[in-house]
Structure 1
Amino acid sequence: MPTPRTRSISTKVTEEEYAQFEALAGTQTISEWARDVLLRASKPSPSDQTIVAELLALRMILVNVLFSIANREPLTSEDMQDMINRADASKLAKALDRLTAATTEPQAG
């Protein structure tokens, strides 16, 4: 048995915004469409997670490589593989942390 919905959220919109929402809702009621949009916006999509995870892994590898080069430290194939493994091991958790923070922290402006 689904959990009953007992709480409400409301907002005021202009006539133009309401017409836009009606068009976007299609066959759904505007309130059901808005609920779906809010729920989707509150959690990162799998593609967002993947993109952010890969960017964070790439950043971690790049920073470590540049640090080694700046310190004139030789990089072996083993060193590179170790960096890649460490970046891969932590990338998803770090991406989820970043994406969660982006959706829960107050936006400036």
Structure 2
Amino acid sequence: MPTPRTRSISTKVTEEEYAQFEALAGAQTISEWAREVLLRASKPSPSDQTIVAELLALRMILVNVLFSIANREPLTSEDMQDMINRADASKLAKALDRLTTTTTEPQAG
């Protein structure tokens, strides 16, 4: 048995916005359509997850390479592969964390 919906959200819209929502809702009620849109918008899409994960992995690799260069440390192909493996291992978890953390403050790290 589905969990009963006991809470509500409301907002004011213009006549034009209401007409747009009616058209987008199609056969659904506007309330049901709006509920689905809100729930979908609150979850990161797979493409968002992938893009953020790859950017975070690239950032991690770049920072480590630049740190090695700045400290005049030799960077072997084994070191590079290790950096790539570490970045790949943690990128999805970090991306999901970034995409699902709600904050008004800039995120650290």
TM-score by shorter chain over 0.5 = yes
Larger RCO, structure (CA 8 Å, separation 6 or more): 1
Q: Deviations over 1:60-101 (max 9, x none)?
A: 001111111122211111101110111011111111111012
Q: Deviations over 1:18-63 (max 9, x none)?
A: 1111111122111111000110111111111111011000000011
C-alpha change, 1:88 and 1:103, in structure 2 (3 Å) is same
CA-atom RMSD, angstroms? 3.5
Q: What is the deviation of 1:105?
A: 7.3
Determine helix, strand or coil for the equivalent of 1:102: coil
Deviant stretches of 4+, over 4 Å: 102-109
C-alpha change, 1:99 and 1:69, in structure 2 (3 Å) is same
C-alpha change, 1:102 and 1:71, in structure 2 (3 Å) is same
C-alpha change, 1:47 and 1:103, in structure 2 (3 Å) is farther
Mapping for residues 8-19 of structure 1, pairs under 5 Å: 8-19=8-19
C-alpha change, 1:60 and 1:106, in structure 2 (3 Å) is closer
**d(CA) in 2 for partners of 1:108 and 1:90?**
16
Contiguous gaps of at least 5 residues in structure 1: none
Aligned twin of 1:40: 40
Are 1:67 and 2:82 counterparts? no
Tell me if the contact between 1:44 and 1:100 (Cα under 8 Å) persists in the aligned partners. yes
Q: How many pairs align?
A: 109
**d(CA) in 2 for partners of 1:66 and 1:108?**
19
**d(CA) in 1 for partners of 2:87 and 2:76?**
17
C-alpha change, 1:89 and 1:108, in structure 2 (3 Å) is closer
Q: What is the deviation of 1:17?
A: 0.8
C-alpha change, 1:105 and 1:5, in structure 2 (3 Å) is farther
